[in-house]
């Protein structure tokens, strides 16, 4: 055996063989170590993957729970939606029944209103007949009596519209359904202006601030300048006051060159000594002034409210004091008709100040009071009116009314008189000169007549 080994591994190669075996063993050992390390890494990765897999399973479980919760919520919402649809259907049926009841009540109200109008018309005709009978009892009849008789007769068809005893906010048919724009004309003794807005946009009210080509003032003067024959209007508003008073005195008939002012006072039942002297009939002056300011109104409405038919789609509200009698209100209506502000003398596209103010207060101030008071502080006249309510949406007759000439312009006049009294004659003349110079430099804002 020994010999065989010696034959296989000769003595001289023994050492070399051992080295080869050792080298081979080391290589195998290194590979084995590497395999162990690789196995350890794979094992670690496997553990990591197991942890991630567990996390994914947990997340999936949570998502499943949330999904189930969403399904439950969705099911509850579907049930509630079905309940709401059921309630909506029931309410719709009830609403239709209410609409039918309201329509029936509206017809009854319209019939009742028509009956009231007929009774009012008969009452006014009776009053006019009584007035005319009293006139006929007079022994001597002059031209003024004839004019009074004519005015009484002319009002019998229009008084119902110009002085309504009630106004129902729920009865939209009391005004034409095609009214799209409301125009408020503030016709004052010294100054006038107007505002307008769409019926469906009452928050956006436009007040006219362009007069005679100039921007900035919300009103213009209630003044007219005629030609020498008093047939045609030469100037109106502020431009009618621009001319120098000295220029008027150069004319042979200087009164004919002066502007006409304060003409509204003629419909205020003043005594003759308080009314200004007019060279032309006051109704013509009012009609002419309405015609001139009406041009501005129509132009403004046409520009700001296109596709509007003025006579069909515009409701005109004019400031008429509540204490005016039917005849005086009829005069305003007639002047508006002659000035082509309204299409017909008895047009329903026309309302008075106290009615418009009452409607505004009832819509914007929800107070449960039996009456309301309106105060109109004008530059010349201060009006106080009290209206009695019939319900939350309907007002009735005027219970109290009062007026006085105590506006701001009268306060200004009295203050100037007071200064003249304190300063004396010469100082008063100097003050007039200063005011005249100021008026020349600011003709659009200051009016002063030393005569």
Tokens of 400: 């109290």
Tokens 């009832």 correspond to what residue?
362
The C-alpha atoms of residue 329 and residue 344 are separated, in whole angstroms, by 15
Q: Which two tokens stand for residue 46?
A: 């496997």
**Rounded to an integer, what distance in angstroms lies between the CA atom of residue 221 and that of residue 188?**
9
| Closest listed residue to residue 358, CA positions, set 168, 101, 213, 217 | 168
Long-range contacts of 430-436 (CB under 8 A, 24+ apart): none
Tell me the CA distances in angstroms from 297 to 48, 153, 302, 339, one per residue in order: 87, 31, 9, 12
Task: Provide the 10 A C-beta neighbour count for residue 426.
Answer: 8
The pLDDT value given to residue 125: 73
Q: What are the mean pLDDT values of the chain's consecutive 10-residue runs (451 residues total)? A: 57 76 88 91 92 93 94 94 92 90 85 76 70 54 49 48 41 60 89 91 87 90 90 91 55 61 82 80 93 93 88 85 74 90 72 63 64 68 70 58 67 74 63 59 50 37
Helices (H) and strands (E) in the chain — how many of each? 10, 14
Identify the CA nearest to 213 among candidates 191, 239, 195: 239
For 279, the token pair is 């060279």
Note the helical H segments in 306-407.
Answer: 310-313, 326-338, 353-364
Instruction: Round to whole Å and give the CA distance between 358 and 374.
Output: 8
SS3 call for 201 = coil
Give the pLDDT confidence score for residue 131 in this predicted structure. Answer: 60
- In three-state secondary structure terms, 221 is strand
CA distance 140 to 154: 22
Rg (CA), the chain: 47
- State the Cα torsion 412-414-417-423 to the nearest 10°: -80
């Amino acid at each position: 055996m020994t010999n065989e080994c010696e034959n296989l591994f000769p003595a001289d190669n023994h050492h070399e063989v051992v080295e080869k075996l050792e080298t081979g063993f080391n290589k195998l050992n290194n590979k084995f170590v590497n395999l162990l390390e690789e196995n350890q890494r794979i094992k670690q990765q496997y553990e990591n993957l197991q942890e991630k897999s567990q996390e994914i399973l947990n997340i999936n479980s949570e998502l499943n729970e949330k999904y189930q919760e969403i399904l439950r919520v969705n099911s509850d919402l579907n049930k509630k939606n079905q309940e709401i649809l059921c309630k909506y259907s029931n309410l719709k049926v009830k609403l239709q029944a209410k609409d039918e009841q309201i329509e029936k009540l509206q017809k009854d109200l319209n019939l009742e209103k028509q009956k009231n109008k007929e009774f009012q018309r008969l009452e006014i005709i009776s009053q006019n007949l009584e007035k005319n009978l009293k006139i006929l009892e007079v022994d001597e009849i002059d031209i003024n009596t004839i004019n009074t008789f004519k005015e009484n007769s002319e009002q019998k068809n229009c008084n119902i519209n110009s002085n309504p005893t009630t106004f129902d906010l729920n009865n939209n048919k009391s005004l034409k359904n095609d009214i799209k724009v409301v125009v408020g004309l503030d016709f004052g003794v010294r100054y006038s202006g107007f505002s307008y807005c769409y019926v469906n946009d009452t928050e956006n009210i436009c007040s006219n601030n362009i007069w005679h080509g100039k921007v900035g003032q919300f009103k213009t003067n209630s003044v007219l300048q005629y030609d020498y024959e008093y047939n045609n209007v030469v100037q109106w508003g502020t431009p009618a006051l621009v001319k120098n008073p000295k220029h008027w005195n150069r004319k042979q008939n200087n009164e004919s060159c002066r502007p006409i002012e304060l003409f509204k006072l003629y419909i205020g039942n003043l005594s003759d000594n308080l009314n200004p002297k007019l060279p032309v009939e006051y109704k013509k002056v009012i009609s002419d002034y309405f015609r001139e300011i009406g041009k501005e109104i129509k132009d403004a409405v046409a520009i700001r409210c296109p596709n509007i038919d003025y006579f069909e789609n515009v409701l005109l509200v004019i400031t008429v004091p509540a204490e005016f009698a039917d005849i005086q209100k009829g005069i305003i209506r007639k002047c508006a008709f002659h000035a082509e502000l309204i299409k017909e003398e008895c047009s329903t596209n026309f309302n008075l100040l106290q009615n418009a103010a009452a409607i505004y207060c009832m819509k914007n101030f929800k107070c449960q009071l039996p009456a309301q008071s309106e105060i109109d502080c004008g530059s010349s006249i201060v009006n106080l009116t009290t209206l009695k309510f019939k319900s939350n949406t309907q007002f009735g007759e005027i219970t109290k009314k009062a007026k006085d000439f105590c506006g701001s312009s009268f306060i200004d006049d009295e203050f100037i008189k007071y200064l003249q009294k304190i300063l004396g004659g010469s100082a008063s003349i100097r003050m007039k000169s200063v005011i005249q110079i100021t008026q020349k430099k600011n003709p659009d804002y200051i009016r002063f007549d030393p005569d």
